[in-house]
A and B are shown apart, each in its own frame.
Chain A
Amino acid sequence: MVAIVLGIALLAFARASPFLQQLSGLGADIAEVSSDITDMPKQLLNTASAYLESRQTMRQRIQELEDKQLMLSARAQKMEALTAENMRYRALLNSPMAEEATMMVARIVAVSPDVNRHLLTVDRGSDDGVVIGQSVINSEGVMGQIVQVGISASRVLLITDVQHGIPVLNNRTGQRAIADGVGRLDHLVIQNLASTSDVNTGDLWVTSGLGERFPTGYPVGITSETTTSGDAAYLSVTIQPAAALDVASHVLIISSVDAAE
């Protein structure tokens, strides 16, 4: 009986108590250490295969990487030009400059064993300057946000988790909404839009920046289905996430300049 009452008390204070939140962060550290241990045979195999790889294969791979780098740097140059142009337009319109984001690469080291939660553990923690609330993306789009921070690892709540909602913007029409996770990796849902809303299948939804948690303009997903409610008053939109949430191995933890400082 005492154990049950204690369990209920812990559960009730789990959100409010800073001590319990720190303890949850410790869980991320435990997950990272365990992952290092369980990955050890795989790492050893990788190291051994790297030694055994022929010189020709390695040269070929280096060549491929050099080609890829060349293409990416050409793209980056174009991006820089576009950014400068964008800033000039913003200055002309007297609108505030878009905030610059700092990024940090992190490796996904574990997945939460709880089947109802979409939580990942990454190998960056408070020692690396990670704080709760930083957003996490990969090369394709937004993945989630940091919810627990340990010393050397953190936990990321994916946008598809039932507890997650993300402010989004229709890239075509500019309509704002909140996309909620439903516990499925393959879709998010926007509920209760006015039935007159202009939403088509294939529309891209990006982060709107409302709430100042996620930076503006990162792809969230693409409309895969729209459903009208029985009385035709509301529209429900199903979005397929842009980021492949279950196959990524590395992510970027981003924060605004203010947060980084």
Chain B
Amino acid sequence: MRDESNIWLSLCTSLVFAALLFQSVSSMDVRFFAPRLLELCVCYWILSSPATLGIFFAFAVGVLVNLIEGSYIGSASIGLSVVAYMLLSAIYTIRQLDWISQTAIIFLLLGISLALQRIGLAAVGVSSDGLSYLISVLVSAALWRPFNVAMDGARQWLGRLR
């Protein structure tokens, strides 16, 4: 059982780093392969601290995603809120799964999140270009295991600093 009493420093640090790296893409073509780090953060933190962080945390990160992307505020929040709900509904099952299965689940959840975002944007007149966004979802899912290891390591390191 992880200590959930003092997660805020780790949480804020991870979100700041994820946001910095998320928007650091400098070329339009590279964007297709850029991992969705903020969405990965949401999945990690909800799986890690479900008692503290939930749907409204996911909603707030969605607003941050929209601010960074420059898209309509609220579009990413819908998808991430649904992801948070699904994670919380099956949290014990997902935690029991091996890494490969978890990676598949993360692929599915991020795919749903971005698909809902596209549907929301299409409703306000921003059409999307096919399923190209799934490339970044695939990259993100492939990074789920190293992301987890890095986050656990960083949390331990930050815990020793306190």
A-B pair number, CB within 8 angstroms: 139
Using an 8 Å CB-CB cutoff, how does the interface string of B64-106 with A read, 1 for contact, 0 for none? 0011111111110110011000000000000000000000000
How far is A163 from B124 in the complex, measured between Cα atoms in Å? 11
A54 in contact (CB, < 8 A): no
Using an 8 Å CB-CB cutoff, how does the interface string of B20-53 with A read, 1 for contact, 0 for none? 1111111111011010000000000000000000
Residues of A within 8 A of B68 (CB): 27, 30-31, 34, 112-113
A233 in contact (CB, < 8 A): no
- A4 adjacent to B82 (CB under 8 Å): yes
The binding surface of chain B is classed by DSSP as: helix
Residues of B within 8 A of A8 (CB): 74, 78, 120
- A246 adjacent to B23 (CB under 8 Å): no
Which of A3, A15, A30, A118 interacts with B55 by CB under 8 Å? A3
Query: What is B's interface to A at a CB cutoff of 8 Å?
Result: 19-29, 31-32, 34, 55-56, 58-59, 62-63, 66-75, 77-78, 81-82, 118, 120-121, 123-129, 132-133, 136
- A246 adjacent to B29 (CB under 8 Å): yes
Which of A14, A26, A116 interacts with B118 by CB under 8 Å? A116
A251 in contact (CB, < 8 A): no
How far is A192 from B10 in the complex, measured between Cα atoms in Å? 56
B27 to chain A, nearest CB (A): 6
Query: What is A's interface to B at a CB cutoff of 8 Å?
Result: 3-4, 6-12, 14-15, 20, 23-24, 26-28, 30-31, 34-35, 37-38, 110-119, 121, 148, 155, 162-163, 183-185, 245-246
Cross-chain pairs A/B with CB under 8 angstroms, 19 sampled: A3-B78, A4-B78, A7-B62, A27-B69, A35-B24, A37-B20, A38-B20, A38-B23, A110-B23, A112-B70, A113-B25, A113-B34, A114-B31, A114-B69, A115-B31, A115-B136, A155-B70, A162-B129, A183-B127
- B125 adjacent to A163 (CB under 8 Å): yes
A27-B67, A35-B23, A110-B23 as given contacts; A116 in contact with B73, CB under 8 Å? no
Residues of A within 8 A of B20 (CB): 34, 37-38
Q: Which residue of B lies closest to A119 (CB)?
A: B70
Q: Which residue of B lies closest to A38 (CB)?
A: B24
- A148 adjacent to B81 (CB under 8 Å): no
How far is A14 from B126 in the complex, measured between Cα atoms in Å? 13
